[in-house]
Amino acid sequence: MASREDLESFIARLDADISSEEVDSGIWVLAPGEDSAPVVVSLAPPVVVFRVKVMDMPEPGQRRTDLMQKLLELNAAGLMHGSYGIDGSHVVLTDALQLENLDFNEFQASIDSITLALASHIPALAAFQE
């Protein structure tokens, strides 16, 4: 099973353009670049969780309903791992990987998947921001 030290090692091996900071024990904030939202990585055995705040939810009404439908469509067609969800008043993108057999390639692939999804989906989601 991957340990906290393994995750620290994976984070250290990431592309030099990705900065990181441990903000609490077992919780890191990764900044993949100037135009990307920070990715929070948290160790929560038996998984590691990746989470990004995408945007604030619009006020209740048709725009919010349309956004929820778009998020479901993106979950079904635009994501191989992870999913969009709603946490309070925020849209989030999350992914989780089992620690049991986690290796660096899986860790890197999850971060790449999240950043690619955001880069390709943000233009469509921007229409729903107020």
CA distance 75 to 29: 24
Burial of 15 (0-12, 13-18, 19+ CB in 10 A): exposed
3-class secondary structure, 11? helix
How would residue 10 be classed by pLDDT, with cut points 50, 70 and 90? very high
Tokens of 106: 């899986």
State the chain's mean pLDDT as an integer. Answer: 93
How many CA atoms lie within 13 Å of 102's alpha carbon, on the beta-carbon side? 25
Q: How does pLDDT run across 46-103, given as a tens digit for each residue?
A: 999 999 999 999 999 999 999 999 999 999 998 888 999 999 999 999 999 999 999 9
Instruction: Give pLDDT, residue 80.
Output: 80
Say which amino acid occupies 49.
V
CATH label, 4-126, candidates 3.40.640.10, 3.30.470.10, 3.30.1460.10, 3.90.180.10: 3.30.1460.10
Confidence at 129, pLDDT banded by 50, 70, 90: confident
